[in-house]
Structure 1
């Protein structure tokens, strides 16, 4: 008869968390370890802190950002998002589905998007901000970045900009077109940059490789 070794101590293996969706997969298994009573608002706060950490350390995970989840959700559902995605989900539950179940179902769809660099432009002293698209405070201008990338969440018509600064990249929100829709075009995104930073159409270049590292 073989000895029962069930009492032998086991070595704990830390889960590999390559990006925010691996963290969400872990949360899905044991939600009570991360949020009380399935609170989406606590989860929203936790994920906002996660994105702040990415920005602070200049980390690009190569997957859709949870800071863009609200823009995608508004595009997909047309729900009001003024109070945040947690409240929007809680107010639009499907019969028999909890808030957490709805959240994970939606993020399973959201994580399939592919952030893809469409084009980039290198900026210099001649590309001073005009304030036509961004005004900070009363009348301050956005600092001119070293470069700008136009990125699409393929296959959806959702675009955002990544500004490159000496201390790291800055990820902007999903662009809204002139009608207030999150559905936009690459041409609109380029025009946005051209108007704000005086970039000429011929200054855009195609990226290589075309897709952000995963």
Structure 2
């Protein structure tokens, strides 16, 4: 990965959705996620979801449990539905593969988004 340039960093008021937040996390993970912990990242995402619900704001809740991301992830990792949460399952898979969990999360997130975008485009045809 190339070093991010200053134009890659966006202030909060320029974010449109949770994916813009995740793009910023990817650029500076240690700023947003303590020790690269997926549990901490999941907590932030859950807090976002709760805040949106409390304030009646429509939000992308792909990362709720259960939710679209975890539903997609189970077959992708070759497992049945997990009650432990996507963050635990990715942590386990990353340990088995010997890769940093946050790196695996972002790789899986890219796949998830690509497949969803492709499905939306196919449905529009």
Q: TM-score, normalised by structure 2?
A: 0.70
**1:57-72 counterparts in 2 under 5 A?**
57-61=55-59, 65-67=62-64, 68=67, 69-72=69-72
Rounded to whole Å, the distance in 2 between the matches of 1:78 and 1:92 is 10
Give the unaligned 5+ runs of structure 1.
Answer: 1-12, 115-152, 156-209
2:44 counterpart (33, 43, 46) = 46
CA deviation after TM superposition for structure 1 residue 64, in Å: 6.5
Structure with a larger share of its residues in helix: 2
Larger Rg: 1
Matched with 2:78 is: 78
Structure with a larger share of its residues in strand: 1
CA deviation after TM superposition for structure 1 residue 77, in Å: 2.4
Rounded to whole Å, the distance in 2 between the matches of 1:83 and 1:92 is 13
- Contact in 2 for aligned 1:51/1:65 (Cα 8 Å): no
Which of structure 1's runs of 4+ aligned residues deviate more than 6 A? none
Aligned residues: 106
Matched with 2:91 is: 90
Matched with 1:196 is: none
CA deviation after TM superposition for structure 1 residue 42, in Å: 0.7
Rounded to whole Å, the distance in 2 between the matches of 1:64 and 1:51 is 6
Q: CA RMSD in A?
A: 2.7
